[in-house]
Amino acid sequence: MQSKFDNKIKAVTRQVVLNQYMKFAESVFKKNEDLTAYTLPADMWTFEQQIVDHALYHSNTKSELNLTCFECDPATYKHNTDSRYFMLNGNELHTRLNFEYKFDFMHRNLHAKKNFFMWADFCGCPTQERLDMVLNKKNLIANSLIFVTFACRWRNCYTIPKTIVDMRDDLFAHDLNPHKSSSHHASNAIQSYMHPLMKPFGFRPIVNLEYIANQGGGATSMCVLGFSNSPTFNRTKFFRKTLNWFKGVTSSEVREVQNYLDIQACLNH
């Protein structure tokens, strides 16, 4: 069965996260240090398979990859348990991989003292509970890279911090572009909420992507935000793109070309 996360735009955003992870992991493995990664694979595992392969490629170093994946939906968890070779006990390829698949809500980093990676690919609203988990200072340790994915349209969601809603509304009220909806300002509002809480730990925003993954009635606008305090990104400029979103501003041909160029920029970032 095809996963609902298996679509082109989601693949592009996943690749942006993966590209930044690769730069980060290279720098950790070069120092023969261990890396701890927490992710939410759902039924895709594309990202996780690639970071495991990347660790395997570096298996001549002394580094270990501690990968913990979480799933809170019982059916998804059951269906995906032991579904990949690297999950099986005693597989000889991955002597430097410590893998755990937890039937649990994603929690803060429990063990790493540095070199922590998290992709909290929630795709739901930026609730206080989710933000508190991500912003827990046990995650904000030296040389770390943190990505979140949140929905940008918030209907019937009452647990979003008021500051975020107010910031979004304020940005919307001052936007002179009549084609932009308030959800266009959600990603900036979430980033503006998170950054000051991460800044004391040396983090800065490195990526902000707004996108609509699928077409049709179920299409929800999302954003992927990335923050890091790793010196690996010291020379990297903040990367901001909007994919597959604008409607009504230009002709569909112009939008298609723009989208193509933005996708290429993402794949190469």
Ligand X SMILES: C[S@@+](CC[C@H](N)C(=O)[O-])C[C@H]1O[C@@H](n2cnc3c(N)ncnc32)[C@H](O)[C@@H]1O
Instruction: Please state the closest distance from residue 41 (CB atom) to ligand X, in A.
Output: 5
DSSP code of 140? S
Instruction: Please state the closest distance from residue 14 (CB atom) to ligand X, in A.
Output: 5
Give the burial class of 199: count Cβ atoms within 10 A of its Cβ; 0-12 exposed, 13-18 middle, 19 or more buried: middle
- In the set 21, 24, 29, 47, which binds ligand X (CB under 6 A)? 47
Instruction: Please state the closest distance from residue 118 (CB atom) to ligand X, in A.
Output: 12
The residues in 103-132 that bind ligand X, with binding defined as CB under 6 A, are 105-106, 121-123
Cβ-contact 94, 56 below 8 angstroms: yes
Instruction: Please state the closest distance from residue 72 (CB atom) to ligand X, in A.
Output: 4
The one segment of 69-77, 82-90, 175-183, 203-211 that binds ligand X by CB under 6 A: 69-77
Q: Is residue 225 classed as helix, strand or coil in its secondary structure?
A: strand
- 31 sits in the region (left: phi over 0; alpha: psi -120 to 50; else beta) called alpha
- In the set 27, 76, 181, 220, which binds ligand X (CB under 6 A)? 76
- Total of chain residues touching ligand X, rule CB under 6 A: 18
Distance (Å, whole) CA 149 – CA 118 = 11
Cα separation values, 125 from 93, 193, 224, Å: 38, 14, 12
Where does this chain bind ligand X (CB under 6 A)?
A: 5, 10, 14, 40-42, 44, 47, 70-73, 76, 105-106, 121-123
